Amino acid sequence: MRPSPDRPSIVIIGGGIFGVSTSLHLVRQGSLVTLVTEGVLGSGASGRSLSWLNSSRLRSSAYHRLRMVGIDRYRTLAAQHPHAPWLRFDGGLTWDADDASNAIDAAEAHERSIGYDVMRLAPEEVAAVTPGVDARAITQQGALFNPGEGWVDLPALIGLLAAEIRIRGGEIVEGAGTASVLVRNGSARGARVADGRLFEADACLIATGPWTPAMAADLGVEIPDASPIGLLVKTAPVETALRAVLNTPRVAVRPTPDGALVLDSAWSEEEMRVNADGSLAVRQDTIEGLLREASAVLAGNPKLTFGSYGAGRKPIPGDGEPVFGALDGVGSCFVAFSHSGATLGLIAGELLADEIANGRRSPLLDGFRPGRFQAAARSLVDA
């Protein structure tokens, strides 16, 4: 693809939710878009995400505001697809361990103070509000139910968005291998992929999940990275009344469109190891442990059977906050890098597309621009 004098041409590097969402919003505005991705669409972090749509617990006010706008866009999508099995708003239920780390009181107080819809439930009250949970697993401090929360199956959503991209004339190049930004005269002018092909353009977006900081570093821009190894286990289909997303001390659980469950936890990620060749080792007893922990929080304690798993780095910026917008010092080059890919997927693509194609910087992204790290570094030097 070569730049057009009439319509801006954009190359997107990355086939996860940020890359696909931004591509769709760009083609809807009339831009010429080519998306290149190393494997198939959604095969990276987006394909192994719990995909919980929420803004619960404590975070910065700017981050909360952006997440709430992100959830609003999913509400709009749900209205357009009212029977979609891949997008549900059946709430989220969380509880903490019965020890000094229990922060249910503080979480409830904070969520009420910002107007976030929350219900405090004693264990025996849960079944009447949201089904499928074993009340015996809930600690004595009780649980928080957030009725406005939900979940999305990102691979299904990515497929839907990609179909529209193609209908509108956008190009999607899968299996391109590792890509790099093509820079001329200090500005991004497209991408080069593994087999040497060049995709020239007026601007470029890097949306490669946990590999985004390394690609920015190749361009001389530092984005601190705290991306850990992540593991998502999927069960075989199982009969359960569970509809909400569960976030519990030992396991997080959500339903899937095909009647299975997906599971993750902090402890299971800590048990993973990196082999000498860079591949990840997932222990059988880790998978079995996740299945046991999930069964223990479900009503009737059903026997859960292993279906599949996804393992890889989980994108988390160094300061925990999203990174969206133009790279300082590299013209026409933008990045999208955040832990909350599901919740922010639609709104980030919308706002980034407007900035890339039209130069309109959204105030919603002003606290999350990559230049904040350079500003912090300069402050340290000046001090």
Q: What is the pLDDT of residues 153-187, one digit of tens each?
A: 999 999 999 999 999 999 999 999 999 999 999 99
**Domain shared by 298 and 249, yes or no:** yes
**Which phi and psi angles does 297 have, rounded to 5°?**
-100, 0
Residue 334 lies in a domain: yes
In this prediction, residue 383 carries a pLDDT of 43
The CATH number assigned to the domain holding 215 equals 3.50.50.60
**Domain shared by 168 and 33, yes or no:** yes
The predicted model scores a pTM of: 0.95
Residues 245/252, Cβ–Cβ less than 8 Å: yes
Range of 357's domain? Answer: 9-46+154-225+318-382
Within the chain, which residues score under 50 in pLDDT? 1-4, 380-383
Residues 305/331, Cβ–Cβ less than 8 Å: no
Which three-class secondary structure state does DSSP give residue 184? Answer: strand
> Rounded to an integer, what is the distance from CA 244 to the centroid of its chain?
18
**Domain shared by 198 and 244, yes or no:** no
- Number of structural domains the chain divides into: 2
Rounded to 10 degrees, the C-alpha dihedral 86/58/143/98 comes to 130
Measured CA to CA, the distance from residue 326 to residue 336 in angstroms comes to: 9
Give residue-wise pLDDT tens across range 241-300.
999 999 999 999 999 999 999 999 999 999 999 898 888 999 999 999 999 999 999 999
Which one of 297, 313, 329 terminates a domain? 313
In this prediction, residue 374 carries a pLDDT of 83
**Domain shared by 165 and 264, yes or no:** no
**Domain shared by 360 and 285, yes or no:** no
Tokens of 156: 């299904």
